[in-house]
């Protein structure tokens, strides 16, 4: 009986892993459809950003499944989902990322601080510069709790469960209205996913 149960569990686990691999593969190839558009936008910008980083951010933001693929509307006019075409979304997203990368370089902080600032806002770059110069989950958590969340109404430190493997390794919680503490780590991981899955 135990052997049968173990086999059923193993089979279900294999099916689940297979399905998740298929979904990731499909999402990666959806994102890769924007590669030529990203290359064109980058060619018209003086930026430290590269194609792979922007594609990883698209994967992190929407997996290419929404018109505002880089979720850059709010940085443009303060209104969510106001951008109605992918090219404008990428142009605005690259503009913001390029600004963050230039500020990070000037402040002598790491590139991943600039990426995290895409989610938290540009002021995060100065915060990291004053606190060691390197983006970490601990710094992102403190900034989310003490700056971002209170500025958007969460003055009690309320949290919620965030279902993402990277988050689960560090407690799996985010501060409500506090942005994504794990954003830069997710982008970093998604760089790897795209590299692996684009080969198939």
> For the packed helices 183-197 and 51-61, what is the interaxial angle rounded to 10 degrees?
110
Tokens 């390029």 correspond to what residue?
A: 98
State how many domains the chain has: 1
Lookup: tokens for 21: 């691999």
Domain, as residue range, for 111? 2-197
Could you tell me the pTM of the whole model? Answer: 0.92
Kindly report, residue by residue over 125-184, the tens digit of the pLDDT. 999 999 999 999 999 999 999 999 999 999 999 999 999 989 988 888 999 999 999 999
User: What span, in angstroms and rounded, lies between the C-alpha atoms of 154 and 88?
Assistant: 32
The CATH number that applies at residue 88 is 1.10.530.10
Kindly report, residue by residue over 57-116, the tens digit of the pLDDT. 999 999 999 999 999 998 877 788 899 999 999 999 999 999 999 999 999 999 999 999
């Amino acid at each position: 009986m135990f052997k049968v149960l173990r086999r059923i569990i193993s089979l279900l686990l294999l099916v689940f892993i297979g399905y998740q691999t298929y979904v990731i593969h499909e999402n990666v190839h959806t994102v890769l459809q924007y590669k030529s558009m990203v290359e064109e936008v980058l060619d018209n910008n003086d930026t430290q950003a590269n194609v792979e980083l922007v594609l990883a951010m698209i994967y992190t933001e929407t997996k290419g499944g929404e018109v505002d693929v880089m979720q850059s509307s709010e940085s443009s006019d303060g209104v969510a989902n106001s951008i109605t075409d992918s090219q404008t979304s990428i142009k605005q997203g690259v503009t913001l990322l390029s600004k963050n990368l230039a500020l990070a370089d000037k402040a002598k902080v790491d590139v991943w601080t600039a990426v995290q600032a895409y989610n938290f806002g540009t002021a995060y770059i100065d915060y990291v510069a004053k606190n060691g110069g390197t983006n970490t989950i601990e710094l992102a958590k403190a900034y989310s709790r003490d700056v971002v969340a209170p500025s958007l109404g969460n003055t009690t430190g309320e949290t919620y469960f965030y279902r993402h493997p990277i988050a689960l390794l560090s407690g799996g919680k985010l501060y409500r209205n506090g942005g994504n503490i794990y954003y830069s780590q997710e982008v970093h991981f998604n760089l790897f996913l795209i590299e692996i899955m684009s080969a198939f």
